[in-house]
A and B are shown apart, each in its own frame.
Chain A
Amino acid sequence: MATTIVMNGAAVAADWPGRYHHVDQVLDRPGPRTDPSFQAGDEVKDFLRDKCKILVIGAGGLGCEILANLALSGFKDIHVIDMDTIDISNLNRQFLFRPKNVGKPKATVAAEFIMARVPGVKVTPYYGKIQDKDEDYYMQFKLVICGLDSVEARRWINATLVNMVDPENPESLKPLIDGGTEGFKGQARVILPTISSCYECSLDMLNKPTAFPICTIANTPRLPEHCIEWASVLEWPRVHGDKKMDTDDPEHIGWLYKTALARGKEFNIEGVTYSLTQGVVKNIIPAIASTNAIIAASCCNEAFKIATSSAAYLNNYFMLIGTDSVYSFTFEHEKRPECPVCGGEAVDITISKDLTVDKLIETLIERQDIQIKKPSLSSGPKHLYFQAPPQLEEATRPNLEKPVSELVADGGEITVTATTLPFSLSLRIHYS
Chain B
Amino acid sequence: MLQNESQTLDEATMNIQPDNKTRRYDRQLRLWAASGQAALESSRILLTSGSATSTSILKNLVLPGIGHFTILDAARTTPADAGNNFFLNADASIGKFRAEEAVPLLRELNESVDGVADTRELEALLQTDEGRKYLASFTLVITHNLPAKTLDQLASLLWQDPTYPPLIVVRSAGFLADFYIQLHEHCVIESHSETAPSLRLTKPFPALQAWADTLDYDKLDPTEHAHVPFALVLIKEADKWRAEHGGALPRAYAEQKAFKAAVRARQRKLDEENYEEAEAQAVRMWSEKSISSDIQALLDLPPVDLRTSPNAAFHALLEALRLFVQDPAGPGSLPLTSTLPDMKTDTESYVKLQRMYKEQARVENALFKEILKKNFPDLRIEDAVVDAFVKNAHHIKLLRGRQSGGFDKDKDALASALQIFPKETVTHLALSALSELLARGAEPASITAEALTAEVHALVGQGVELPNDELEAAAGEVVRAPTADLPNTAAFLGGMVAQEAIKLLTKQYVPVNGYCVIDLVDSWTGIIGAP
Where the two chains meet, the residues of A that have a C-beta atom closer than 8 Å to any C-beta of B are: 1-2, 13, 16-23, 25-26, 29-33, 65, 68-69, 72-73, 88-89, 91-93, 95, 98-99, 117-119, 183-184, 188, 219-223, 250, 254, 257-258, 261-262, 265, 267-269, 274-275, 278-279, 284-298, 300-302, 304, 311-312, 314, 318, 320, 322-326, 328, 330
Is B345 engaged at the interface, CB distance under 8 Å to the other chain?
A: yes
Are B18 and A275 neighbours in the complex by a CB distance under 8 Å?
Answer: yes
Q: How far is the CB of A59 from chain B (nearest CB, A)?
A: 16
Bound: A123/B163 CA distance, A: 48
Asked if residues A18 and B90 are in contact (CB atoms below 8 Å), the reply is no
Query: Does A301 contact B492, Cβ atoms closer than 8 Å?
Result: yes
Known A18-B78, A301-B523, A326-B516; judge A275-B26 contact (CB<8 A): yes
Interface pair A296/B491, CB less than 8 Å apart: yes
Q: Given the known A-B contacts A92-B25, A220-B345, A257-B16, are A68 and B86 also in contact in the complex, defined by CB atoms under 8 Å?
A: yes
- Does residue B398 face the partner (Cβ distance < 8 Å to A)? no
Tell me the complex Cα distance, A410–B128, Å. Answer: 87
Given contacts A92-B28, A289-B59, contact A31 B477 (CB under 8 A): yes
Given contacts A31-B521, A302-B523, 14 further A-B contacts (CB under 8 A): A16-B94, A19-B80, A22-B83, A23-B486, A25-B481, A30-B480, A183-B30, A220-B350, A257-B16, A278-B26, A294-B499, A297-B494, A326-B500, A330-B522
B92 — which chain A residues lie within 8 A by C-beta? 1
Is A312 in contact with B1, judged by CB distance below 8 angstroms?
Answer: no
Complex A-B: 15 CB contacts under 8 Å: A16-B82, A22-B83, A92-B25, A93-B64, A95-B63, A220-B345, A221-B347, A261-B13, A268-B351, A286-B28, A297-B489, A300-B488, A301-B520, A326-B527, A328-B524
Write the B20-57 contact mask toward A (1 if CB under 8 angstroms, else 0). 10011111111100000000000000000000100010
Inter-chain CA distance A229–B65, complex, in Å, is 33
Q: Give B85-119 interface residues, CB cut-off 8 Å to A.
A: 85-86, 89-92, 94, 108-111
Contact status of A119 and B91, CB under 8 A, knowing A220-B227, A261-B13, A326-B512: yes
Contact A258 B342 (CB under 8 A): no
Most chain-B CB neighbours within 10 Å: which of A31, A183, A254? A31
Q: Is the CB of B492 within 8 A of A118?
A: no
B64 to A69, Cβ gap below 8 A?
Answer: no
Closest B residue, CB atoms, query A87: B23
Assembly CA distance A250 to B22 (angstroms): 14
* Residues of chain B having any CB pair with chain A under 8 Å: 1, 5, 9, 12-13, 16-18, 20, 23-31, 52, 56, 59-60, 63-65, 78-80, 82-86, 89-92, 94, 108-111, 174-175, 191-194, 227, 342-343, 345-347, 350-351, 449, 472-473, 475-477, 480-492, 494-496, 498-500, 502, 509-513, 516, 520-527
Q: Are B79 and A19 in contact (CB under 8 A)?
A: yes
Q: Is the interface of A mostly helix, strand, loop or mixed?
A: mixed
State in angstroms the CA–CA spacing of A65 and B492 once bound together.
10
Assembly CA distance A278 to B17 (angstroms): 11
Q: Are A254 and B192 in contact (CB under 8 A)?
A: no
Question: CA–CA, A89 to B30, complex, Å?
Answer: 12
Given the contacts A22-B487, A274-B18, A301-B523, A1 and B5 also touching, CB distance less than 8 Å: no
Which of A2, A91, A323 has a CB less than 8 Å from the CB of B510?
A: A323
Known: A31-B480, A286-B31. A300 touches B491 (CB 8 A): yes
Contact B491 A325 (CB under 8 A): no
Q: How far is the CA of A173 from the CA of B233 in the complex (A)?
A: 57
A291 near B86 with CB under 8 A, answer: no
Nearest-CB residue, chain B, relative to A317:
B523
Closest residue of A by beta carbon distance from B92: A1
Q: How distant is the Cα of A295 from the Cα of B499 in the complex, in angstroms?
A: 12
